[in-house]
Amino acid sequence: MKSLKSRNGLLCLAGLVLALLIPQIIDNNFYIDVLTLVLFSAFLGQSWNILGGYAGQFSFGGVVFFGTGAYASSILFRSFGIDPWIGIFGAIAAGAAMGAFIGFISFRYGLKGSYFALITLAFAEFFRIIANSVEFTGGGVGIFIDYNPSLTQLQFDNPAGYYYLALLMTVISLLIAWWLERSRFGASLVAIRENEEAAEALGVNAFRCKMYAICIAGAMGGAAGTFYTQKFLYLDPPIAYGIGTSVEMLLVTIVGGLGTIFGPLVGAFVLHSINEVARHYLEAPGLSMIVYGLILIGIVGFLPNGLIGLFRRRQKKMAGGDDA
């Protein structure tokens, strides 16, 4: 068992070194850009995974944190001239505050399961309408970020710059998940996921733990919002609070493996790869999406524990074989 752990540790280290070297190995900006989107999806997925995967609080409106963070740093930048490097901390704070707000309202009144999922969806829609209606968000016109590639603007004239930023964020998200799996707090979240009443009977403060979890998820979502606006230079209410991003967040996690460290990363990599390959080989409009959907149905239908679950099953089988 110890050798298995050290082997996994070595694999992680090798993966990180490989990830750091990728822009030097692959002389193709398209792949760097696709990998950046994979890492970005993985980071968003991990923010959902902490609340949905570890704490068992499924949300249909995870995008609300992303949108709030995106607006926070964009408004700080456009209206107050605050650089995105500082703005990203504003976005993290705004995302966490949004998490605290939604969490307090939901958990204080005991919303769980499908009720919690629906209230998060309602909040996302509520904030989309608000963002559409008020002036300081630019309303339906949205917010434009000037194209000005420089490190201080968190804009890069080379896709590798965005790749490294996304990689840094993903590594941080993996470390958070790794810490969760080894901490008392993480164990409390898992206990709440499995049986909240039993966990409380054992002395776990479920309300407090869930509040911490939603704040962490919110903070991560906020950081992702800053990354998005500085890369794509435009933000409007459908981008900020649209349901598509919420679906992507939960999809990469479910496909990869709920409540696992690498689930969102694996899910994001597989889903983006399938999407890109389908788009490349199937030029008839829409056909690539049909194939993508069919493969997705196959994965979700046949792998209830995600791809990581499949990997673990194999690993267990191999370990069992070794013992014999």
Partner 1 sequence: MTKKPTKSTISRRSFVAGTTAGAAVLATTSIGFPRMARAEDTVKIGLIHPVTGFLAFPGAQLRYGSELAIADINAAGGVKSMGGAKLEALLGDSQTKPQIGAAEVEKMHEAGVHAFSGCYQSAVGIAASAAAAKYNIPFSIDVGVSDTLVTRGLENVFRMMDGYGRIAKDAATNLGLINKAAGSPAKTVVIVHEESLFGTGTAKLMGDYLPEQGLEVVEVIKHANPTRNFDNIALRIKSMNPDIVMPINYPGEYVLLARTLRQQRVDFAASYSVLGGGFNFKFVQEMTDLAENMIDVNHWYDPNSAFGQELRRRVEADGKFFTMEIYTAYNSIRLLHDAFERAATTAPEAVNAALASSTMDPLFMPYGPTRMVNGQNMGSRAVAIQAQNGDVQLISPTEFASAEAVFPRPKV
d(CA 253, CA 256): 5
159 interacts with partner 1 by CB under 8 A: yes
Among 30, 104, 136, 179, binds partner 1 (CB under 8 A): 30
User: Binding segment for partner 1 among 6-14, 94-102, 166-174, 270-278 (CB under 8 A)?
Assistant: 270-278
Question: Does 277 sit near partner 1 (CB under 8 A)?
Answer: yes
Q: What is the DSSP track for 82-147?
A: --HHHHHHHHHHHHHHHHHHHHHHHHHTT--THHHHHHHHHHHHHHHHHHHH-TTTTGGG-EE---
Q: Does 233 bind partner 1 (CB under 8 A)?
A: yes
How many residues at the interface with partner 1, by CB under 8 A?
51
Helices 243-256, 263-281: axis angle to 10 degrees equals 110
Yes or no: say if 79 and 138 are a contact pair by the CB < 8 Å rule: no
DSSP state of 266: H
CB 39 within 8 A of CB 166: yes
Stretch that binds partner 1, among 4-12, 29-37, 55-63, 107-115 (CB under 8 A): 29-37
Which residue blocks in 257-305 are alpha helix, DSSP H? 263-281, 287-302
Rule CB under 8 A: say whether 270 interacts with partner 1.
yes
- Residue 93 interacts with partner 1 (CB under 8 A)? no
Is residue 254 within the footprint of partner 1 (CB under 8 A)? no
Site residues (CB under 8 A) for partner 1? 26, 28-34, 37, 132, 139-142, 144, 146-147, 149, 157-159, 228, 231-234, 236-239, 244, 269-270, 273-274, 276-277, 279-280, 283, 285-286, 288-289, 295, 298-299, 302-303, 307, 310
